[in-house]
A and B are shown apart, each in its own frame.
Chain A
Amino acid sequence: MGSEDRATPAIQHRTAATREKRAGAIAAYAGTAGRLALEAAGSALAPRVRTFAQDATNDLQRALELLRTIEGLGIVVHGPAGCAGTLHGDGPAAPWAVTGLDQRDSIMGGDGRLREAIRRLHAQRGPRAIVVLGTPVVAINGDELQTVTDELSEELGIPIAPILTDGFRSRIGATGHDVAVHGLLKHLLPQRQAAAASRVNLLAVAEGAEEVQGLRRLLLEAGIESRTFPRGASVEGLREIVNAVLSVSVDPDESEYAGQALRQLRGVPYLSPPAPIGAAGTAAWLAAVGEAMGLDVSEVAARQGARLAGAVARLAPHAGARVFVSLPAAQAFAVAGLVRELGLSVAGIGVPSIGPAHAGALRAVAAADPGIPVLVGEGQAFEEVNLLRTLGAELLVSRGTAPLHALRLGVPVLDLASVPVLGFDGLEGFAEAARRRLANPALARFFAGGREPYLPGWLSKSTHWFIKHEVK
């Protein structure tokens, strides 16, 4: 973002740029790590398209998943009723409303319905701030959200932020994280008063509450108080966020936008060490935070690291087991490192998107084994099934996505949404969860029921059958 600092800071723009633009990320690739590493070392990753795609999240879904975790925040989805579907799923019970636009609103504009929905949500649930999310319908018919949010913010006396999601601008769902953070910081952020002596922001976006709490405990053990943002933050807590001495990434990819925006807007310094995953990764992360805070944390790291030998030893009977890692890029590379740390082997890596920022990690993976398969894309069950079968994977590691296709194949799944992986605690939990799954594959085979999830004609196709270079 160095060049943006000299030009207009990203946070001053109307909304966040897509991940494709901001991070030069691509969302489609199937091939070897070696080939992709070569490409990443060149000028840019070549954009590719899928001629057949099964499913993909969009920015609206991702923004909703994130915003519903903020305590005290009311959510209004400005669109047809179905656009709020994400909020029906499991997750924190934030107060929310949907404007329920119909055919007539799509023609005549839905300002009136939006005003009504905001007023009703405010009257019935009393949120301390409200966010209004855009949908494909209002992006097309041009309903102006900010005119209404400014007007009602004044009327109701609480901050109301427009979040300019549209469902189609980006092929990468994680763009929604940036769009949500952009709206929150631009419209809800108080002014910075004075930095708190030893409090840092943990910039968590897609991580689980439990594992982030684990990181907070670890920091506290080192004498560092912390608050999380944006995931699991509170409206009142925003005051503490702007006054933190430092912001620290949890996932360098996902934390980036919030970290840079807090720095640009309120001058909070941003530190982005590699993810705290695995013993070495967590120790390095903790050391980076300690150094920035002027604290010696080596004793804490040594004490925590010493208790992990047993966890690794228990996995010895499964040494070399083939694990497919399917996670957002920064986490995927870190978890791949953890898998090796535990004596298992990495059969392949799947990521929703990948950009030039991962060139180093790709190079490292390719240096160890240039033929290791890499699949880029989200929600493409067919491609993942194809690869899992070919590789004979014994375990799939993913987060939050429904891995039914792997279970139908008889491959056990380790879902990081329920198994925390961050920090030293995470290593212990991950190792035990992996051990249990590798020791008891019968349950996954039972789910599979002996039937292939796809017909032979499909399975005979190569993984990259539907991925083509984009012609412009």
Chain B
Amino acid sequence: MRGNNLLDSMHRFLRQSIFAYRALLGWLRPRDYLIMKVLEPATQILFFSVLGAFAGQDPAYFALGNAVRAASVGGLFGCASVMLNERRSGTLQSVTASATPLAQTFIARSALQGLDGLTTTAVSFVLGVTLFGLDFSQVHWGWLIVALLVTSYAMSGLGILVATSGLVGIDLNLTMNLAFSTLIVLCGVNFPVEALPPALQVVSRALPLTHGLAAVRSIFAGDLAGVPGKILIEAGLGMLYAAAGYLLFRVTEYRARVLGTLDLV
């Protein structure tokens, strides 16, 4: 009986994940999916790689940093975007009033976004190889896939935290874009973290993308010694953010019910 309940829960979780993934990422309009997951990251990679090339640096460094960042951003935006769309559709109140806790609903709905980041990575890597000479000769594919998946899901943890801001009346577009921009500047995407002032380096090391990206860079350099440690830190940070997000979700959900701020943005 207990086993059946667990299977039912898992089935519902999976079903929600698939429906939300298809709806959010425009599977009903493949053109939108292509723009969001392929063209947009590609142009960002081009911009930063050319910027690096103008400074006489290796554009492959920029291509790799932005490829990983672009891929993992899906995890960050997934949960918050689902929340944003529920509010726009006028269904956030109904979802909140349902028997399942809001946090569980949104975690289920953002579950596949992290996995989908691999599509963006694949396209970005093709671009990196063809235009900027990204070198795969030293790459250990197993570790690379693990590092990318862990980074993407760690970003989902941050996404859950970001999504909670929407429940207390803060514009979700605002927090998502602030988080997105902070990651570009602070996580070693376009220049090493060590180039930042010491105080910002501390902030950088507490963000989920930093260690995952460092692991990916090590994998490309063929230096696997520190990779498991970096991946473990990344996974730990992701779980920490997800746990903080889950707790805050429960608290803010309660506050939004009490204050009546659920649909007030």
A joins B in a complex: no
Interface residues of A (CB under 8 A from B): none
